[in-house]
Structure 1
Amino acid sequence: MHKPSRHNLNCTLGVVALTALLAACGQQTPGTTSVATTPKADLSEHATVAQSGKLKYVQNELMVGYTDDASLSRAATTLNATVVATIPEIRVALLRVSGDSLKVSSQAFRLPGLRYAQPNQIVTGEALPAVQGAASLNAQAASKDQIFDELPQYALDPRHLNAKAAWDAGLDGTGVVVAVLDDPGDVSHPDLAANWAGKAYNPFLNKVYTNAAEWVKDSASNFASHGTFVASSIVAVKDGKGIVGVAPGAKWMPVVINPAATTENEFYSSFYIALGAVWATNNGARVLNNSWGGGTSFGAVKDAFDYAMSNGTSVVASMGNSYYDEFQYPAALPGVIASGALDGSNRRTTFSTMGRHISSSAPGQDTMLANPTWLGGGHELISGTSFSSPYTAGVAALVYQKCPAATPFQVRRVLETTANNTIGSNPTGFDRDTGWGALNAGNIAKTLTSCDKLPAKGANVKINVTYADSGGQKPGVLGDVILRGKGMRAGATDDPTPLYLSTTDAQGNATFAEIAPGEYDLYVAGADLNITGGLQDDRGTYVGSLTATSGSTRVNPDMKDVTLTAASPNFNPVDPYEPNDSLDTAKAIAYGQTTQTAYIYGTPDDFDVFKFTAAAGDQIKADVLAAGQLGGSLDSYLFLLGPDGKTLADNDDRGDPRIDSDSEVTFTIKAAGTYYLAVTSYNIATATGDDGGPFNKYQLKLAKTN
């Protein structure tokens, strides 16, 4: 339940909530070396940030997908916006707008030639699992088969990743480049310097670094260590000192998506993450490691990852540290290799997120990794799915070394079919805890003796949705599309049948990259009523089937057109009671009346005010029917004001215990007169933001109960 303080009607700005979670690790910062923590103005993304719940976005930046340059130019002119930057490979642009980008997005979403329009989201963080610090290193008991360079690494031993067996067979990642999308990795660390590919990239600056000293000078911070830990899992050089990575012959490129200049978690926005992924692909990376989470099922980051996969680059992501069975992005995006974390006994760590989309698992508990030189150097024991993910990326690099022409789906299946599937809750195959099992590099070397033994190629699918109603046919925007493999046993924790989800864009398209070929049940539903509101019959549904063909591509996908009898969302609703934003303009409401559907939308800090006449002793009940009862996205807040305009009662969430996010006020009137009911959103009422979404719909109901 929300616990706001009372505010008057002069409140500040906010936005519609959207969850964003960091799938990062636990980190130990020894602090043995002092590093200046003043902001690096030339490296950090400086902008006004709006926030609501866990969503953060750049307030005046809009991210759009466009079909061609002419469409982008027309959109910029219509919106009176400036094009800040573009990613031509995926036709995505960053626009600077004069107003709040969330509000502008509803207008932009309807413009011809735009595939989507979204506020430029910034990833935020979550609690991290506990870790061990440097003081614990000397206490480790290690067997001889856990010493590969100098320090013990159980993760690589024959009972876990079985790395030496792969190396002895000639698979060490030679010739393969892995990009680490993270905070700045230390290219000068003794374990990493020899395997730096010679390039590092800051997408916000659009700056390529080729000088290690300059990179370190700009990167050094008390908070930047995660990227170094991650890189060392993959490519730490085998030289008899320190530690070794699972692919010690591979090269790596750091791509900054989190400058970590003044805090551990200050991620760049989605546009620059997408730009970094595209740059890495264009500069030769065959694997992209993403030890982070947050975002949505469509938009610039998905487009960038789809682009990478279409160019033969695998995308690996950590499952997350949520402890739950749930979808998190980007791990749940179609085609992404999602990695879970294991402890030293090959059991799922308690924090590792689970789910049907998991591919496999790798060590992620107390892994021995390199600490950046600007934080004292040396090594730390670190935990998190952030480190199972790079081990997975490193093993993927071994496959690419052997078979450079392998597709991302083939790489994924090689990892899965050679994994140790005796671990986890299903000792004979797949389970939602650990996927297909514990990765085993030695098994890959033993099994993949020639590229003729690669599994079948994956498939690429495109679904186009159209809404048909009394107004004609319109693009199936904000629809939900599910591909469910035939024969899926819903709820079964040991069922490997694939399941993919996506949201349609402004043109009604949903794409699925590098998925398993085969027969699918296809489920399509119109715009999500939890977002848009409305009647269930207005949404429309479709159930059919689809064949995903091995070898279909992003350019020539398997296609399906679906027409739904469904209402198209209204992105520019008209409130029948406006203007009613003050006591002077209040609209009348009487006992026993329920208003027409109205909206908290259209003006900053929108308050809709209604007035009624009451007698002394009247017991009243006022209800706001919003997201909880009507659908839509309004988390309502209701004020009862006296004749003098002072607050007599207010409510956020109805019920005790809480029923839902709708609002309800009961009150006994003390003196006859004119009273007022003011409806707004929780964000506006609590001064946490300007909440102006077009789906902030509600109805106000007033009753006399005595």
Structure 2
Amino acid sequence: MGTGVTIGVVDSDFDRSHPDLCDQPSRSRCVSGYNAFTLRAYAPTDPFQGNPGRDTHGSGSAGMAAALSNNGQFVAGVAGGDGNPASAARLMPITIFGGSSGGYAGDFNVAQAIVWAVNGPDGLPPTDPGDSGDGADILNNSWGGGGYSHLLKDAFDYALLNRVVVVASAGNDYRDAYHLPSGLPGVIAVAATNPHDEKTDFSTYGPWVDISAPGDDVLTTYVNLGSKTWLFGGTSAAGPVVAGAAAAVLQVLRDNGLSPTPYQVMRILQMTADPVAGPPAVTAGMGAGRVNVAKAVRLAKGITTPAALPADGSNITVGVLNKAADAGTDMLGFVPFSSVTLVHAATGKQYHAQIGVGPGALFLGSEPGNYRVLAGGPSQLLLGGSEDPQETVVAAPAGSSPLVILRQQADLYETAGGSGPARNETPGTATDLAGFLGTLLPSFTLSAAFDSNNFAHLGLPEGGPDVDVYAISLAEGTTLHLRAASTYIGGQGKVKLSLVAPDQITVVASDTETAVPASLSFTVGTGQAGTYYVKLEEASGEQGLGYFYRLGVGTNASPAPDF
């Protein structure tokens, strides 16, 4: 099974001289691969990309997924065909481990390698009319860890949007623990079972896991630049079993004239899985059960029309906006690096993602149904933690693409001239607006909060009152217009707004919010050009949750935005 399907093995290189992995000597069953260390493609007949005495992992993964079956030698993979290499799934090596030092190629290089695998050697996206169809159909990822990477999230989203099935091992942390890339939305997360269909001692599990597969010392292919087998264990072995099963299902559905989404392929595997034995608290975190390839293929063979396919998943987008922001004028109206969790109301299935440098987190291939949506604060290391977690609900029917917007208090500008988190409470530690935001518009707003506790974990001063100072460079003859408000836009505070001269001492203008926003205008006279400092204080010295504000800035003929 797996005929015509290409499995990208995202791992160390696999032994392309092994007759169970690539037919010899032509190696026509294997396709060109990509080396994430050199950022170059390589042919199936090229030398091993790494150290064969060290980089053995990829050969194990490739063999579990699709070692040639029924050929009377070595082992059999799930999508290994009937003994004829042309009947088996094709194997594409994507080398991200190994290199000269035996390490990891890095997120940037790995993201580029994933995009290359999706597009294939011709470099064209699968949606391009000129694409030759030489990209991967399935990506197996027997690797990962606890960190989060926006680069990898974007790369895997690219794969999923191009209908590539992405499989990843759940990890070997022995416990209920979150893991990436297996924990990314749309990725099929695979836990490991033993010969008794129980969770292995080592397997990670949790409400984000989708399915399980055998992973306890399974015989598979090994690097020997020719031929060898070994016992391969861990969720690293379980993941490619599911990748091979997905290849078998995908081949059958394509033979039936269908083009399923990655979610629909996963659902067929889940619907036909066998139960995992053990305590309910553990089995609940093992996904739909242990994959049963024969049942999955039988079910797929009976699906002959698009209407008979399982209902498709939903693609949910969650945006987190700064509570004080004006969507039309704010320079940074969303809260970057907020953590978002979706919890399925009926099944408890969980999905996690972070807002990146764009305004939304994308949850591709989510189980249809109703969700609780929870947004935490932005990354504390980058922007300080919000003390204002938000929650809502969303209905996500099959095939839908709902948009969820939450608003959250955040203090995004506690940084001094690009030097990292620092109390921007004096002209000497002011936030350089052009340095932080780039080229400034003639008229814009920015939104923040009076809150001195959000960087306490980094050792920055706690307590209050919080004062925010922003630096802006002004040329002679420039007229600066400022407006600021808290109560007027729904906050609890009262803003005192001041403009401080380049000497960092002299206050050239000030105003305090009343029933209307605080506002002032100042024209730079001859010989007065330089860096000026916009200072905002909460007039009564209060701060914390609810004490958010908005600052409007305009220059010359462009007034400060009216709010």
Structure 1 residue 574 displacement after superposition: 9.4
Partner of 1:550, secondary structure, is coil
Q: Select the residue among 253, 276, 292 that pairs with 1:440.
A: 292
Which of 212, 221, 232 is the matching residue for 1:370? 221
1:631 to 439, 456, 472: 456
Alpha-carbon distance in structure 1 between the residues aligned to 2:455 and 2:159: 41
Count of matched residue positions in the alignment of Structure 1 and Structure 2: 400
- Of structures 1 and 2, the one with the larger relative CO (CA 8 A, separation 6+) is 1
Give the distance between the partners of 1:176 and 1:290, measured in 2 at CA.
Answer: 17
Contact 1:425 1:433 in 2 (8 A): no
Q: Please, which of 89, 95, 111 is the counterpart of residue 256 of structure 1? A: 95
Report if aligned partners of 1:298, 1:503 keep a CA contact under 8 Å in 2. Answer: no
Farther off after superposition, 249-258 or 286-295: 286-295
Describe the shift of the 1:346–1:295 C-alpha distance in structure 2 as closer, same or farther (beyond 3 A). closer
Distance between the aligned counterparts of 2:339 and 2:113, measured in 1? 28
Instruction: State the alpha-carbon separation in 2 of the partners of residues 322 and 416 from structure 1.
Output: 23
Residue 531 of structure 1 deviates from its aligned partner by: 6.1
- Residues 15-54 of structure 1: pairs in structure 2 closer than 5 A: none
Q: Note the C-alpha offset of 1:503.
A: 1.3
Distance 1:521 1:498 in 2: 11
Q: Distance in 1 between matches of 2:248 and 2:418?
A: 58
Inter-partner Cα distance in structure 2 for 1:447 and 1:372: 35
Tell me which residue corresponds to 1:450: 303
1:544 to 392, 395, 414: 392
Structure 1 residues 646-682: Cα deviation after superposition (integer angstroms, max 9, x where no partner): xxxxxxxxxxxxxxxxxxxxxxxxxxxxxxxxxxxxx
Distance 2:348 2:405 in 1: 24
Change (3 A) 1:279 1:630: closer
| Distance verdict in 2 for CA 1:193–1:634, change over 3 Å | farther
1:388 aligns with 2:238: yes
SS at match of 2:283: coil
Q: CA deviation at 1:211?
A: 4.5
State how far apart, in whole Å, the 2-side matches of 1:334 and 1:186 are: 31
Q: Which amino acid aligns with 1:203?
A: A
**Change in 2 beyond 3 A, CA 1:349/1:260:** farther
Q: Is the 8 A contact 1:422 1:437 kept in 2?
A: yes
Unaligned runs of 5+ in 2: 81-87, 121-134, 433-451, 462-563
Paired residue for 2:316?
461
Deviation at 1:433, TM superposition (A): 4.2
Please give the secondary structure, in 2, of the residue aligned with 1:241: coil
Any conservation in 2 of the 1:423–1:438 contact (CA below 8 Å)?
no
**How far is 1:631 from its partner?**
3.2
Give the whole-Å Cα distance in 2 for the aligned partners of 1:243 and 1:192.
10
Q: Which residue of 1 aligns with 2:339?
A: 480
- Name the CA distance, whole Å, in 1 between partners of 2:352 and 2:53: 39
Structure-2 change in CA distance of 1:470 and 1:311 (3 Å): closer
**How far apart, in 1, do the equivalents of 2:183 and 2:372 lie?**
19
State how far apart, in whole Å, the 1-side matches of 2:339 and 2:349 are: 17
Cα gap change, 1:574 to 1:371, in 2 (>3 Å): closer
Structure 1 residue 353 corresponds to structure 2 residue 222: no
Counterpart of 2:291, as a letter, is L
Cα distance per residue 1:500-530 (max 9 Å; x no partner)? 1221123331111111122112222342557
- Going from structure 1 to structure 2, the CA distance change for 1:461 and 1:181 (only over 3 Å counts) comes to same
SS where residue 220 of structure 2 aligns? strand
- Using the TM superposition, give the Cα deviation of residue 549 of structure 1 relative to its aligned residue in structure 2, in angstroms: 3.4
Structure 1 counterpart of 2:83: none
1:246-302 Cα shifts (integer Å, max 9, x gaps) = 101211100100125444xx0101011111111111122111000000364451111
Distance 1:629 1:199, change over 3 A: closer
Q: Identity over aligned residues, as a percent?
A: 31
Q: Structure 1 unaligned runs (5+)?
A: 1-171, 488-495, 579-594, 603-626, 637-706
Does the alignment pair 1:275 with 2:112?
A: yes
Contact 1:291–1:386 (CA under 8 A) maintained in structure 2: yes
Q: Separation in 1 of the partners of 2:162 and 2:266?
A: 15
Residues in 2 aligned to 1:503 and 1:252: alpha-carbon distance in whole angstroms = 32
Match of 2:271 in 1: 417
CA 1:320 to 1:219, structure 2 compared with 1: closer, same or farther past 3 Å?
Answer: same
In structure 1, the partner of 2:490 is none
Mapped partners of 1:632, 1:279: distance in 2: 40
> What are the Cα deviations for residues 340-385 of structure 1, in whole angstroms up to 9, with x where unaligned?
11122222111111111111111111100111123x7311112111
Alpha-carbon displacement from aligned partner over 1:211-243 (angstroms, at most 9, x marks no partner)? 51x233x44432111111110111111211111
Q: Are residues 433 and 543 of structure 1, via their aligned partners in 2, closer, same or farther at CA, if it must alter by over 3 Å?
A: closer
Cα deviations by residue, 1:128-157 (Å, 9 ceiling, x for unpaired): xxxxxxxxxxxxxxxxxxxxxxxxxxxxxx
Contact 1:523 1:543 in 2 (8 A): yes
Amino acid at match of 2:399: G
Structure 1 residues 484 and 573: CA distance shift in structure 2, 3 A = farther
User: Which of the residues 480, 504, 508 maps onto 2:359?
Assistant: 508
Match of 1:225 among 38, 46, 56: 56
Q: 1:233 to 1:634 in 2, by over 3 A?
A: farther
Q: Matched residues in 2 for 1:530 and 1:632: separation?
A: 9
Q: Structure 1 pair 230/247, CA: closer, same or farther in 2 (3 Å)?
A: same
Counterpart of 1:196 in structure 2 is: 29
Letter in 2 for 1:435: G
What is the aligned-residue RMSD (CA, Å)?
3.1
Structure 2 CA distance for aligned equivalents of residues 271 and 539 of structure 1: 32
Letter matched to residue 542 of structure 1: Q
Letter in 2 for 1:279: W
- For each residue in 1:44-65, what CA deviation from the matched residue of structure 2 results, as whole angstroms up to 9, or x when unmatched? xxxxxxxxxxxxxxxxxxxxxx
Closer, same or farther in 2 for the Cα pair 1:244/1:466, shift >3 Å? same
Aligned with 2:179 (options 312, 317, 328): 328
Query: Is contact 1:468–1:563 with CA below 8 Å preserved after alignment?
Result: yes
Report the counterpart of residue 562 of structure 1 in structure 2.
406
Matches of 2:232 and 2:249 in 1, distance apart?
26
Alpha-carbon offset, residue 410 of structure 1: 0.8
> Equivalent residue of 1:369, what SS?
strand
- Give the Cα–Cα distance (whole angstroms) in 1 for the partners of residues 325 and 96 of structure 2: 46
Q: Are positions 1:215 and 2:47 aligned together?
A: yes
CA shift in 2, pair 1:341/1:549, >3 Å = same
| In 1: Cα distance, 2:455 partner to 2:384 partner | 6
Provide closer, same or farther for how the CA distance between residues 628 and 187 of structure 1 changes in structure 2, counting only shifts above 3 A.
farther
How high is the TM-score relative to the length of structure 1?
0.53
Paired with 1:635 and 1:396, the residues of 2 have a C-alpha distance of 51
2:39–2:109 contact (8 Å) kept in structure 1: no
Which residues in structure 2 correspond to 1:656-671 (within 5 Å)?
none
Work out which of the residue numbers 241, 250, 253 in structure 2 matches 1:403.
Answer: 253
Whole-angstrom distance in 2 between the partners of 1:564 and 1:362: 40
- Shift of the 306–379 alpha-carbon distance from structure 1 to 2, 3 Å rule, reads same
Residue 187 (structure 1) aligned with residue 24 (structure 2): no
SS state at 1:221 partner: coil
Q: Partners in 2 of 1:344 and 1:446 — Cα distance?
A: 23
Change (3 A) 1:377 1:532: same
